[in-house]
Structure 1
Amino acid sequence: MRSPQGMAGSSLLRSLGRRMKATVTEFRSIPNAAEAYGPAVLTAGLTPGQRRQLAVWLGVCSAWVFVLVVVGGITRLTRSGLSMTSWKFTGEKPPSTPEEWEAEFARYKQTPEYIKTNQGMTVEEFKFIYFWEWGHRMWGRALGLVVALPAAYFASRGLINGPLGRRLALLFLMGGTQGLVGWWMVRSGFQEPEENQVPRVSTYRMAGHLATAFTIFSALVWTTLQVAIPVPPTVAAGPEAAYASRLLTRFAHPLAAIIGITAMSGCFVAGKDAGRAYNTWPDMNGEWFPSEYFSERLPALRNLFENTAAVQFNHRMLAYTTLAGVATLWSYGRQLPALPPAAKLCLNALAVATAAQVTLGITTLLTYVPVSLGAAHQGGAMVLFTLMLGLLYSIKPAPSLGTFRLLIAKYGQAATAAAVVGIGGTVVNMH
């Protein structure tokens, strides 16, 4: 007959055993292990409906920046960027009377661009370039309202926590400084150019302006994905998908960098009007390597960014590298059947978009860069980058060891109790 102490001990162990089983079940389902890290931190405690509201708003902000960049490209292609000779923090309203238009036009007539390239321009022609620049500036300022007003509303309802709020504040600050960066770029175009040179803004400042825009856009898209899909597809799909995604990630990150560098090189092509030179393909005016690639009047480093032949040749080579890289990544991805469906979708879309972008670039070159094709080509670069971000998120790796340390810190007491129960049960059985 068992002693009362033994029966009590057995009862205690059974009770602790049930608790251990419940603890292990909870541990395994920590949405469950994945929700304790990364993206889920931004939406902790929110319902799916609330996350959806935030994701739609952030998606609209991303689309707004997309349009802003494309309109900026049109502003450059139509040579409208230097039409407004002043910049005010609070914004400008366009002239509304003939007298105001004449006064604005008179200020433009004092600029090097008018004196050297636009002599004889009419007021009506001036209005056309003015409205593109004004529209670009106002669309950028409106972005501040598109971000700030909904952010205030969501914050008042408790939908924006500390981590998300800090990220949005940083993006808002970056967006606010973009106007200053843009004016800093425009001011360079009001300086007297070198002899026999066309007045234009500094290509280096233009590249900085575009790089900042790409950074803001990328951060918004990434945040949208994190809010909409707190648990990345790879984490939710299981170990086989995680392993396949890890293999693809090794090649995807370098390719993303190449795509970004190619887009930035396109900015130098635009800044130097290099797209209106060497309008043949696949050769460059009958040469496979342009004889003008090296300029005696430019230092070696500046030659890469300021010599028309070098700028266009470099952009072509980077485009070919991007195409080859995407084709290789796509081919490799097809050999990984365990990839999450979202990753396969992004990979296929990326391959199609890359082929379309290269075709569009060649067509734009052969037709001497019409505004419509030039703007579409710039938009295509952003589509390509967006799909690359989608792919990177869809193959985002599972939690690291540091994450499991976080889990242990969060659920350590229950885990320790489970371990004690397990050891205790073993000891009792031995006796």
Structure 2
Amino acid sequence: MAVAALIVLMVVIGGITRLTESGLSITEWKPLSGTIPPLNDAQWQAEFDNYKRIPEYTQLNQGMTLAGFKSIFFWEYLHRLLGRVIGLAFAVPLLWFAVKRQIPRGYGWRLVALLILGGLQGAIGWWMVTSGLSVRTDVSHVRLAVHLMLALCLLAAIVWTALDLLLLARKREARPAHLTGLGAVTFAILFVQLLFGALVAGLNAGLVTNQWPLMNGAFFPGATVAGRSFVDALFNDPAIVHFVHRWWAWVAVAALVLLARAVRPLDRRASIAIHTAFGLQILLGIATVMSGMNIVLAALHQLTGALLVVATVWGVHVIGRRA
């Protein structure tokens, strides 16, 4: 659960990194030596010189001062440093419990798989960054979506595993929870909503309009660029992506309400958590749009999205115990 909390924090800092356009400030991937930030003027200047070579600087940030560079460097460095902390927070105890032979039967492979997924997440983060180092002035929104969705899937898997282990700790004969049909459908619907949320972030699609429920005076805004195919517009056009994220949310709400109703007789706390999370998420989403993407509201929206994943996993796990 502590590792899950760190991942939630990581999602929030990743969101701030995106909102502050800080993600391309570190142009190299040094898994070990990159842990230490620049410590003197010469090292800072070397990092700044690397940044000056990429299109984001040459096309958008010409004339940025070293002080300005340090402010964006901070968020990307913090994001990467926290990724290393999460890896250690998971790997070191895992090794300790393995040596002590205290990992319950059947859980070793699952914990190792989670560790591998965490390492893959770091590699995908760098893959995302490389998309903005040569031709583009920002990272690929598709790669950003892959990076964020893997983080949320990893969060869900870790919370599910923690709940299984808590159940086992209370009752030695307890078996792992099963994924029910309702749980699978809810996860699928929520996955779509989160995916389009990630695409909104990657395309800066929240800036398409500051109106709600209409978009620039119309219910359906139409494509930003004419002549796109349906599939192209669905995943690449900011206005269409924003529209889908805005209205698919209500499909997700319907699924979450059904889940919460199924959960309520079994664990009222999980039902309340689900209702609270999606209610706050909707209000924050509307407020973020109407504020013109206020960074605090946008970061809170991303935080609540991660907490909604946790609450949903809790609810699906509750009904899966009975199965």
With normalisation by structure 2, the TM-score equals 0.92
State the match for 1:365 in structure 2: 289
- Corresponding residue SS for 2:292: coil
Instruction: Write the distance in 2 (CA, Å) between the matches of 1:231 and 1:135.
Output: 35
- What letter is aligned with 1:265? F
* Contact 1:262-1:315 at 8 Å conserved across structures: yes
SS at match of 2:89: helix
In 1, Cα distance between equivalents of 2:295 and 2:241: 20
| Deviation per residue, 1:398-431 (Å, 9 max, x gap) | 46xxxxxxxxxxxxxxxxxxxxxxxxxxxxxxxx
Match of 1:206 among 110, 128, 144: 144
Mapping for residues 372-411 of structure 1, pairs under 5 Å? 372-398=296-322
Q: Deviations over 1:94-121 (max 9, x none)?
A: 2111122122111111110011111221
Residue type of the alignment partner of 1:179: G
> In the TM superposition, what are the counterparts of 1:148-227 in structure 2 within 5 Å?
148-193=91-136, 199-227=137-165
Q: Which runs of 5+ in 2 are unaligned?
A: none
How far did residue 329 of structure 1 move? 4.5
Structure 1 position 83 matched with structure 2 position 21: no
Correspondence for 1:102: 45
Structure 2 residue 284 is the aligned partner of structure 1 residue 284 = no
Amino acid at match of 2:53: Q
2:241 to 289, 298, 311: 311
- Asked if the contact 2:149/2:194 (under 8 Å) is kept, the reply is no
Work out the CA distance in 2 between the residues paired with 1:300 and 1:294. Answer: 13
User: Which runs of 5 or more residues in structure 1 are unaligned?
Assistant: 1-58, 194-198, 237-245, 400-431
What is aligned with 2:231? 301
Provide the C-alpha distance between the structure 2 equivalents of 1:313 and 1:115, rounded to a whole number of angstroms: 33
In the TM superposition, what are the counterparts of 1:30-109 in structure 2 within 5 Å?
59-92=1-34, 93-109=36-52
Shift of 1:75: 0.7
| Mapped partners of 2:183, 2:84: distance in 1 | 34
Q: 2:191 aligns with which of 225, 238, 260?
A: 260
CA distance in 2, matches of 1:251, 1:168: 26
Cα contact 1:65–1:217 (8 A) shared by 2: yes
Counterpart AA for 1:277: V
Residue 53 of structure 1 is matched in structure 2 by none
The 1:325–1:163 alpha-carbon spacing in structure 2 relative to 1, beyond 3 Å, is closer
1:347 maps to a residue whose letter is S
Question: Contact 1:357–1:380 (CA<8 Å) still a contact in 2?
Answer: yes
> Which deviations, in whole Å up to 9, do the C-alpha atoms of 1:283-326 show, x marking residues without a partner?
00110111x33743433212111111101000001112222333
- Residue matched to 1:419: none
Deviation at 1:68, TM superposition (A): 1.3
Distance 1:175 1:328, change over 3 A: closer
- SS of 2:95's equivalent in the other structure is helix
Task: Identify the residue that residue 275 of structure 1 maps to in structure 2.
Answer: 206
C-alpha distance 329-394 of structure 1, shift in aligned 2 (>3 A): closer
Contact 2:259 2:316 in 1 (8 A): no
Tell whether the 8 Å contact from 2:141 to 2:202 is kept in structure 1 after alignment: yes
Q: Distance in 2 between matches of 1:372 and 1:120?
A: 27
Is the Cα contact below 8 Å between 2:27 and 2:50 reproduced in 1?
yes
Asked whether the 8 Å contact 1:323–1:358 carries over to 2, the reply is no
* Distance (Å, rounded) in 2 between the aligned partners of 1:190 and 1:384: 33
Other structure's SS at 1:201 match: coil
Q: Cα distance, 1:348 vs. partner?
A: 2.2
AA in 2 matched with 1:63 = A
2:168 is paired with a residue of what secondary structure? coil
CA displacement, residues 34-81 of structure 1 (integer Å, 9 cap, x when unaligned) = xxxxxxxxxxxxxxxxxxxxxxxxx11111111111111111111000
CA deviation after TM superposition for structure 1 residue 279, in Å: 0.9
Question: Counterpart of 2:25 in 1: which secondary structure?
Answer: coil
Equivalent position amino acid for 2:283 in 1: T
Letter in structure 2 aligned against 1:350: I
Amino acid at match of 2:231: L
Amino acid corresponding to residue 159 of structure 2 in structure 1:
V
- Checking the alignment, whether the CA contact within 8 Å between 1:91 and 1:138 is kept in structure 2 is no
